[in-house]
A and B are shown apart, each in its own frame.
Chain A
Amino acid sequence: MPARAKPAPNTQAQATQPPSRTQSPKPARPSSADPQLPWRPATRVLVSLLVAIHLLAVFVAPWNLSTRAALPPGYTPGTDSSGRPLPPPPPDEPPWQQPRLIRALAGIFRHYQNLAYLNHGYEFFAPDPAGTHLIRYRVSRPDGKVIEGHFPDLKSQWPRLFYHRHMMLAEQTAGMGEASGNHYAEHLARVHGGKAHLEWVVHLLLSPKQVRDGKELDAPDTYRVLATVDADASLLKLPPTEEHPPGPLPQGSAILQPYRANGGGR
């Protein structure tokens, strides 16, 4: 690609006002043999190396995230004493084959990628678009008032980017596990003061045929509860104030209710 004779949209228009050299008391010492390349060769070599290393780091991050260990061709799992097939071993054990080069490069660049925020992939709507997750909540306050809501919610979260941030909150719970759900419940209990009950819901997608047959995208049976969480503000860790000085917390005050999965997983 760089070897193309005319590859560059960026160099097509260099015709700007030339630098005014006439006002300089002494003519500048030429820094490069090629007048089209103002930087010295040593500088160019150094920058070339840095650019190559950086681009390799940029490339390795999504490469590493998109590659998985593989079983050897023709691998067949063994059977137990009853003749039933055994489950395959964990992916980090033989006979799984690890992508060693990619993992090694990822190890080398790991901290650079973290520092520069290059530590992610680019899997937009991949490998397949899926239904969205939502969080429904109900907070029962001590004064008897009940606050209900859900996120993301177009009616209360505006503009669209703010709504989208809440959508990501609900969506990324799936990757973080049950503790994140507990923290959402604790946050709501802390903000509203009371007992919070959360439902983690998936909104299933309809096929073209279902839509042609007249089914609505928000039909009640397209929402499925995956898990629930409960939290109580009266048991939460309070910020140190004059009324609540720092000190030992009451037992069981941090994580409150066990995460109960009561629906089909995805």
Chain B
Amino acid sequence: MIGTLASGRDYCKELYRAWNAFWFSPTDPATLSLLRVLAGAMLFYTHLIWSLDLPAFLGPEGWLPVEYLRHEVQVQDVNGMQVPIWSVWSLFFWIDSTWLLWSVHLFALAVFFCLMIGLFSRTVAILGYLLAVSYVQRVSPGAFFGLDKVNVMLVMYLMLGPCGARYSLDRLLRLRHAQQSQPKDPVSTTPSTSANIAIRLIQLHLCIIYLFAGIAKLEGANWQAGTAVWWAVANLEYQSLDMTWLARWPILVALATHLTVFWEVSYCFLVWNRYTRPLVLWMAVLVHAGIALAMGLMTFGLAMIIANMSFLSPATVRRWVDPLAARISLLLVGKQVG
């Protein structure tokens, strides 16, 4: 009995230690900073595209008028009456003039650009999140798709940590300022607990995405039969690379279909093991690059690959990115820093 209690106590202690190590160990913000650059670029491009027909998609009287969305689609039943759901919100629900629409849009583009280059990083991450939610709630339903979900997820967690600690104009500005006040140690970057929490949340959110994407596919007869990949590549509207030669290779179609389902369902388990993690992540690159190249979903594929980069260790990120960052900083402030 005492032995059982002791082992239970040891288990709890070990669990407590593991939980703390998992969530609260400070980490180099290099990975989070790299994600800020890439997600910022993706957010900027995604929202720049709205400019091609801004009033039609986001204006009050566009393809789907705000009035219709708020009073017929985004509604809940209260005492037998259909009323707008208050918690579904968007700045664009209150914008009714073209000049204000464009002003907000240009401001949003500036915010996403600043996020990409890392100027006022934490502030623009918060603003970027609020703006990204505003855009997507205005077009849901209507013109949203998986890209918007991943964009919002990334910027939601970027704002939780010091996303401008590296690879940012903020850092270069700090460097320029600190060279005068602290010439011996101008740009030390301390490990950060909040950077670790932000990265962990992206990782776990990604696991949930893949788990439910896989479970949903398990319900599909064509995913079960191993033919679903054919129906995806045979869709002319998606097609950016002609893959219909697969019609003569049903075994390849079946292999790709089953591998996709097994990979999605098992991602949340296998990505945490250091031996299976590289396999799972390279499979992610393969699947999303394939979707990007063959099905024209370049932005969505890239966004998912960016999210998967949350599993890169800061050491790996620094090995790849620091040389480039050092060149840029040498160019801009005359000193090499990562």
Contact = CB atoms under 8 A, between A and B. Distances in A.
Contact of B208 (A59, A132, A217): A59
Contacts of B89: 114-115
A117 B136 contact: yes
A66 B212 contact: yes
A129 B63 CA distance: 26
B290 interface: no
A165 B65 contact: no
A8 B299 contact: no
Nearest to A130: B231
Contact of A115 (B87, B200, B232, B312): B87
Contacts of A75: none
Given A10-B314, A161-B299, A239-B61, A66 B216 contact: yes
A47 B197 contact: yes
Contact of B272 (A1, A11, A163, A166): A1
A91 B50 CA distance: 39
Nearest to B212: A62
Main secondary structure of the interface of B (DSSP, over half): helix
A51 B314 CA distance: 22
A55 B204 contact: yes
B57 to A, nearest CB: 7
B223 interface: yes
B228 A165 contact: no
B193 A169 contact: no
Interface residues of B, number: 113
B235 A37 contact: no
Interface of A: 1-20, 23, 34, 36-39, 44, 47-48, 51, 54-55, 58-59, 62-63, 66, 110-112, 114-117, 119-132, 134, 152, 159-169, 172, 175-176, 179-180, 183-184, 187, 190-191, 203, 205-206, 208-209, 211-212, 217-218, 239
Interface of B: 14-15, 18-28, 30-31, 45-46, 49-50, 52-53, 56-57, 61-65, 68, 72-73, 85-89, 132-133, 136-137, 139-147, 149, 152, 156, 182, 185, 188-191, 193, 196-197, 199-201, 203-205, 208-210, 212-213, 215-217, 219-223, 228, 230-232, 234-240, 244, 246-248, 250, 253, 269, 272, 274, 277, 296-299, 310-316, 318
9 contacts: A10-B313, A55-B201, A124-B213, A161-B147, A187-B56, A191-B56, A203-B236, A208-B230, A239-B61
Given A11-B21, A13-B27, A184-B63, 6 more contacts: A38-B193, A120-B140, A120-B149, A122-B216, A128-B221, A176-B64
